[in-house]
Amino acid sequence: MSWESVIGHTWATQRLRHALARGTLGQSLLFIGPPQVGKTTLALTLAEALLAQDARGQALIAQRKHPDLLIVEPEGANATISIERVRELQHALQLTPMESRHRVAILADAQALSLGAMNALLKTLEEPASAAVLILTATSADALLPTILSRCQVLPMRPLPRGQIEAGLQARGASPAQAALLAALAQGRVGWALQAWRDAATLQARLQAINDLLRLLSEGLTARFAYAEQLAKAGDAHIRAVLQTWQLVWRDVTRAAIGCVVQAGAPSYGETVRRVAEGVSPETAAACLQRMVQTEVFITQNANARLALDVLLITLPRLSYGVEPLSFNASESEEHRSATTVPAGGK
Amino acid sequence: MRVQCLQENLARALSLVSRAVAPRTATLPVLTHVLLATDNGRLKVAATNLEVGVVYWIGAKVESDGAITVPARTLSELVTLLPADKVDLELNVRTQTLRVQCGRTDTTIKGIDAQEFPIIPSPGEQPLARISGSALKKLISQVVFAAATDESRPALTGVLTKLDGERIIMVATDGFRLSKREEKLLEAITSDAPVTMLIPAKALQEVSRVIESEEDVVFIHLTASHGQAMFQTPRANVVAQLIDQKFPPWEAIVPQRYETRVTINAAEMLKACRQASIFARESADMVRLGIHVGEDLEPGKVTVSARADETGENCSELEAITSGKSMEIGFNVRYLIEGISAADSPQVVMDLIQPRSPAVLRAIGDEHYLHIIMPMNLPGSNPT
Amino acid sequence: MGIHILPDTVVARIAAGEVVERPASVVKELVENAIDAGADDIRVECLESGKRLIRVTDNGSGIRADEAALAFQHHATSKLRDAEDLSHIRSLGFRGEALASIAAVSQVTCVTRHREENSGTLLRLDGGKITHQERVGRPPGTTVTVEHLFAHVPARLKFLKSNQTERSHIDNLVTRYALAYPHIRFTLIHEGRVYFQSAGSGQLRDVLVAAFGGEEAAQMVPIASDPLATITVSGFASLPSLDHANRSRILLFVNGRPVQDTRLAFAVIQAYHTLLTTGRYPVAVVLVQLPPEEVDVNVHPAKAEVRFRDADAVFSAVQRSVRRALLDHLQPPEAPSALPEAWRAQLAATSPAAPTDAQPASPLQPQAQPPIPGSERWERVGIARQSSSGRWSLPAAPAPPSPAASSSSLPALRILGQLATTYILAEGPEGLYLIDQHAAHERILWERAMAQLDLGQVPSQALLDPIPVTVPVSSAHLLETHLETLRAIGFEIERFGNNTFLVRSVPAIMFQDDIAAAIREIVADLEEGDAVLQRDVEAKVLRRVCKRMAIKAGRVLSLAEMQALVRDLEQCESPRTCPHGRPTMIHISVATLANEFKR
């Protein structure tokens, strides 16, 4: 898990490496970026640089088992980080390290901290023990107390360009076709791409959402309402995931409809997008994209999911022709899964 | 690894390291295990919870070297039930399982690779200091109880330990009372400058447990990184992570004068306090001491009283040697009981200034012990 | 009629489905029509929660004979004409399309007579088509009967919830309109039995009694705002003695139309800041009047949302008015009994809402508190808060709510063990007791602290070394003004620099606590409150201290600790609730157990 093996995020890794080299690394860091963009991976890489002295140390960090590394993540039914977990972390951080010169704590998804837990954390951020390094990750700065933000060195992490993800996957042994398809569908989340590469079901779920959309485009209202009814039952998290996937595809469709070249290395994906775009005017495509975004907002605001989906699907353009579903080569994926060890990406 | 040892030795080792085993909720599973490793013809048994590590060596017939970690609880429960006989331990490296054979019992326990176990440093060649086991035990018992158990001020969960020339001083406080004791080392420390460490109170309790005999000599080490303190007995080594925090400047708190001095029989005082404590529960354990300084040649006396609306009242009167002025002062009875018990002396002296100032407890005939308790007050009552 | 499924009609039905989601939507449209027709007596009858039959009868102006057929057809046909353009259908909206939409998904019979005509009209429609029309006699007004709702639309039918849920939607709706239109007499009949009737007296309080029951209505105070302001707020709001587990009892009306607006509801909740425990919500009926151009009610046809031109002004008007109403009535602490005698007399007159059998009494109740299966048999010990107990019966005479009355002492309990490291299981002569260890300990500490406070003797423990505490700069002055009060309960604090304070002693029960954090919490409490009297401040701070010091959930207790705790609880005056009003225990009687085991 060397710095070189981090996919993308060159700016962030360089800043961290410089800070390490010059001894200006803060004791409290905050990595902000969307889910699965690589925050925890970067935090682990930094932890390795701080803690690991030999191969054993590196292995223990990769397995998240290093005695001087503490990882706290949201847990329980409502995925929160309780004040008790923060207290444990504080207890560990004020002790001298066991094997290294530092004790590193990674607090993943800090936006899941309860208010009490955030307040408790302030003390550690204010007066960290001399050996302690606390790395927070969060999907957004908005959900954190301003007092937490002001005490951390903040490192923003953006979604990666498709090319970087594609290259990263290939470097890890994915076939060019596979890497291209995964990168096209990853929304810039390298963690998702790695996970989907390892786990066919993850990729399959996203393909399913896309193929459902492709199918509905040439279907009438009866089929669309039936789909809405079914999807509405799947729960808000799933609905939002589907809508995000649709937005991903539809952005490319809109681009293609306007006449832009779609920067997706995967020929099958690019072909699908172009095929859809042929039957949609740029205005319709843009309006529809807008509605997909809006529908997701409605869902987060607790709208009646079924009603919202009904409306979205009523306004989805209808194609007079069918579009071939997207597929991927399962055997190829299988082959490469066991090729090399794949570092953990996101959660 | 193939080792043979005695059941009683193994059981004793497991029991001594058991309190350093992390609870089952620990984030690293290996911390709920004990390490078994061959070490220069002996068997090393070790546990750590990343705050304190305990290593204990027992004699063993080592046929081949090796190391493994196994669940502490499982192994302890098993070994206590084994007959007092020879125990054969054998590691299967491929499956990382430990085979335990004793008498007619044959067990295999699944383990975790010893590589995952945190490295507990070994003592270096030259210790920082040496102290007699009995002196260290007393030192710990008179100080550690006053440390805070609550984590809100992490520094107070530690015991300030200072080695200076031929002296070792330990101080602990929870913010309401403070306990201090100093002892002589066997010889001056090997460091030129005094050494100060903040050791978790829990770690010192483990040190006390591994001192098996009054005659043991304990070697005190500080690791090269100055991050860990080690207490090495002939058969054990306790490694404490230090607390990386500032201890409050305690010397400034010790009063330098007194207005009232009372000398009382510790046993009688403790009895009076325990009686009063029954009636103090409803008022946050508050008892009142009335100190009556005798006129001219009259003897002085001390009253210990508590009252509860629901339960009733209790008042004991004790004879005492008093000097200075008479005074009434309130204390948390638990602090009184703990402070006087720790004095471990037939007679204790209490120096007071006024009802809102710290009280100092000392043991007659042992100037090394000092205990300070802050009083309790009723805001409604008028301070005099 | 399944045979007629042409693409257009499918669309019409689905479109109608957006408005007519459930029986309550039908009731809503019909009641709104009746109100528009100027009726002052509206009767709503339902069979099988409206799934089989909904009949709304009014004494309004009625429909002219030559327009009757049009009412059901005009919009419907135009809609069918445009059916190809789907997005257009959506943008048409459905306001005023009510009858057509309803007719599209049910069998409708309409009998109406315009007040200026001599005879009336009977229309029968099936699936949106008129099947029968004749002249009939009836008094002026309209009766619309809707039968077999969604019989043609199995997809919607499948979506309907249980009878009880659908009924609660209807109950809720009719009650809301009754509250919005006190001068209209509303009668709600289920399966031939009258469940709710408002007097139509024009007095909102009469409707409140009918809707919420006398006991709750007695704990509600009128809201008033400056009648000359552009935005006026009226209605009733509950005193803190009455609260509810969720927001469902905050009923909002904008210009006479029931609305659901989370931000407006939040404005009401804000008005209760510090008056209610967290997680409890007020009961309120809030009517906002403002010039029609200031508000757009038609944001979403099915969803009763509103959009205000100047939202902030509306929210602040609501919050201020409700807050003022509360504070005016809270001045004497026993506010409920200070209500006008006339009101109390009215409460005594049992309203038609009084339940005649074990059915849920209030039209609102089932919606407000969906019953947990079997929960009604779990008798809650102590103050069964009227709002949360899940059922009540109207008292014969209006008794002012007196929580103290129900806090009887505890029987001797035998400890059985600890559950989930949170509850103590104990056996008493009456069965099983589940005691919340944190709440119970809080109660014990609180009573002791208050007893000590009464004697002016809260023991204070001095600190060896003062602890510095930094508070927000904005709070420093506030803390300083309360230092004397804090001293009375054991906090010896002095100002030390700008926003730093030194704590020299603390209440003696605080021996193992994060003192700096505690002080910051207390400051936050002080900032929130309106506690002016010293005694109130003292009580508030002690409540915080007790909460902090009480045994936390999740701590393993030894048998001896549990015994001591229960013994101390037995000594308390109000052992059954914690100082914040939550129950400390649940009692399951032997009889209930026997029942559960079907013995």
In a shared domain, residues A251 and A288: yes
Query: Which residue of chain C has the CA closest to B311?
Result: C571
d(CA B220, CA B240): 11
Residue B88 backbone class (left: φ over 0; alpha: ψ -120 to 50; beta: rest):
beta
In a shared domain, residues A196 and A311: yes
Would you say residue A347 lies in a domain? no
Neighbours of C, requiring at least 3 CB pairs below 8 Å, are A, B
B300-308 and B312-324 strand pairing? antiparallel
In a shared domain, residues A284 and A268: yes
Cβ distance of B330 and C513 shorter than 8 Å: no
Q: Distance between alpha carbon C51 and the CA centroid of its chain, in Å? A: 26
Residue at which a domain ends, from A94, A121, A156: A156
Q: Domain C219-329 falls in which CATH fold? A: Ribosomal Protein S5; domain 2 (3.30.230)
In a shared domain, residues A80 and A116: yes
Longest C-alpha distance within chain B, in Å?
A: 86
> What integer pLDDT is reported at residue A76 of this predicted model?
79
- C123, C9 contact by CB (below 8 A): no
Q: For the segment C69-107, what is each residue's pLDDT rounded down to a tens digit? A: 766 654 433 333 333 333 232 222 233 456 777 777 788
User: Which value, to the nearest 10 degrees, does the dihedral of the CA atoms of residues C507, C508, C510, C514 take?
Assistant: 70
In a shared domain, residues A331 and A229: yes
Residues of chain B falling short of pLDDT 50 = 382-384
Question: Which of B173, B332, B377 has the CB atom closest to C464's CB atom?
Answer: B173
Among candidates C18, C56, C53, which has minimal Cα distance to C39?
C56
- The yes-or-no verdict on residue A335 having pLDDT over 60 is no
The vertex-C464 CA angle with B203 and B326, nearest 5°, equals: 125
Residues of the domain holding A22: 3-156
In a shared domain, residues A57 and A141: yes
Measure B301 CA to nearest chain A CA, in Å: 47
Chosen for mutation from C5, C85, C86, C512 (greatest number of chain A CBs closer than 10 Å) is: C86
Cβ distance of B51 and A71 shorter than 8 Å: no
What is the count of structural domains for chain A?
A: 2
Q: Which residues of B touch chain C, with CB atoms under 8 Å apart?
A: 148-150, 152-153, 173-178, 248, 253, 282-286, 309-310, 330, 332, 356, 358, 372, 374-381
DSSP B230-299: EEE-SSEEEEEEPB-SPPP--GGGS-S--SEEEEEEHHHHHHHHHHHHHHHGGGTTEEEEEEEPPSTTSP
d(CA B153, CA B142): 21
Cβ distance of A315 and C18 shorter than 8 Å: no
Question: Which of B28, B116, B227 has the CB atom closest to A97's CB atom?
Answer: B227
Q: For the segment C167-192, what is each residue's pLDDT rounded down to a tens digit? A: 888 888 888 888 888 889 999 998 88
Among candidates C388, C171, C179, which has minimal Cα distance to C281?
C388
Q: Count of CB contacts below 8 A, A vs C?
A: 25
Chosen for mutation from A221, A224, A233, A283 (greatest number of chain C CBs closer than 10 Å) is: A221
> What integer pLDDT is reported at residue B261 of this predicted model?
94
Write the ipTM. Answer: 0.83
Q: For the segment C286-316, what is each residue's pLDDT rounded down to a tens digit? A: 988 887 777 765 545 454 566 777 777 888 8
Residue A95's DSSP bridge partners are B243
- In this prediction, residues A66-76 reach a mean pLDDT of 91
Residues of chain C falling short of pLDDT 70 = 1-19, 70-98, 155, 274, 278-279, 296-306, 330-409, 529-533
| CATH code that applies to domain C8-201 | 3.30.565.10
Q: Give the CA distances from residue B59 to residues B5, B9, B235, in Å, rounded to whole numbers and listed in that order.
A: 7, 8, 10
> What integer pLDDT is reported at residue A234 of this predicted model?
87
In a shared domain, residues A142 and A166: no
Percent share of chain B, pLDDT over 90: 81
What CATH number is attached to the domain comprising A146? 3.40.50.300
In a shared domain, residues A130 and A182: no
Every domain of chain C and the residues it spans: 8-201, 219-329, 372-599
Cβ distance of A96 and B225 shorter than 8 Å: yes
Measure A34 CA to nearest chain C CA, in Å: 28
> B165 φ, ψ to 5°?
60, -120
Rg (CA), chain A: 22
Q: For the segment A210-223, what is each residue's pLDDT rounded down to a tens digit? A: 999 999 998 888 88
DSSP B339-375: HHHHH-SSEEEEEES-TTS-EEEEETTEEEEEEEE--
Query: Which residue of chain B has the CA closest to A131?
Result: B244
Cβ distance of C513 and B150 shorter than 8 Å: yes
Q: Residue C297: CB partners within 8 Å, gap ≥ 6? A: C254, C255, C257, C259, C306
Cβ distance of C86 and A310 shorter than 8 Å: no
Question: Which of B149, B310, B358 has the CB atom closest to C464's CB atom?
Answer: B358
The two structure tokens encoding residue C105: 């998904």
Chain A hits for B242, Cβ within 8 Å? 95-96
> What integer pLDDT is reported at residue C398 of this predicted model?
35
**Distance linking the first and last C-alpha atoms of chain A:** 16
> What integer pLDDT is reported at residue B31 of this predicted model?
94
> What integer pLDDT is reported at residue C353 of this predicted model?
40
In a shared domain, residues A188 and A318: yes
The two structure tokens encoding residue A7: 């996919």
Measure B210 CA to nearest chain A CA, in Å: 21
Q: Residue A146: CB partners within 8 Å, gap ≥ 6? A: none
In a shared domain, residues A200 and A305: yes
- C421, C556 contact by CB (below 8 A): yes
Query: Which residue of chain B has the CA closest to A68?
Result: B50
Would you say residue A334 lies in a domain? yes
Q: Domain C372-599 falls in which CATH fold? A: formyl-coa transferase, domain 3 (3.30.1540)
Measure C280 CA to nearest chain A CA, in Å: 19
In a shared domain, residues A323 and A174: yes
Q: What is the pTM of this model?
A: 0.65
In a shared domain, residues A191 and A322: yes
DSSP B172-199: EE-SSEEEEEEEE-SS--SSSS-EEEEE
Would you say residue A272 lies in a domain? yes
